[in-house]
Amino acid sequence: EFHTSTPFVLPPSLGTYQPTSDKEYACEVLNSPTDGTYYDPRLEFKVRWRIKNVGQKNWEGDSVDFVYDTGDKIHKVKGYDLGEGTDIGNVAELFVTMQAPKDPGTYTTYWTLRYGTYKFCKVAFTIRVR
């Protein structure tokens, strides 16, 4: 089951934006959550990625999803619809609600944008549990 996450979309900085990738779907990660942050066991928290659409197609809200890919399952929801979508040159802020495991250790989760079965823009996040 997916939840609709309405990303905050920032306007492009200059008029018409030309894609910097030769791929239809591509991204540039502008900001990621800080890896290696310590969390208390079972603490629920939210992380954010800021991702710019540098491909040749707009990310339509009803056809591009931000989903769990592999790694540790520390998320509360396995995927999010983009909601309003993200035009070429614009930036999406993607939020994921997570929960630290009960056992101490290091955990890494991998997420990706997905259009149909095509995955692009893979990101990772690592936490430490005290």
pLDDT of the chain, 130 residues: tens digit per residue: 455 554 555 555 555 667 888 999 999 999 999 999 999 999 999 999 999 999 999 999 999 999 999 999 999 999 999 888 999 999 999 999 999 999 999 999 999 999 999 999 999 999 999 9
In this prediction, residue 8 carries a pLDDT of: 53
In this prediction, residue 19 carries a pLDDT of: 80
d(CA 46, CA 75) in angstroms, rounded, equals 9
d(CA 121, CA 40) in angstroms, rounded, equals 29
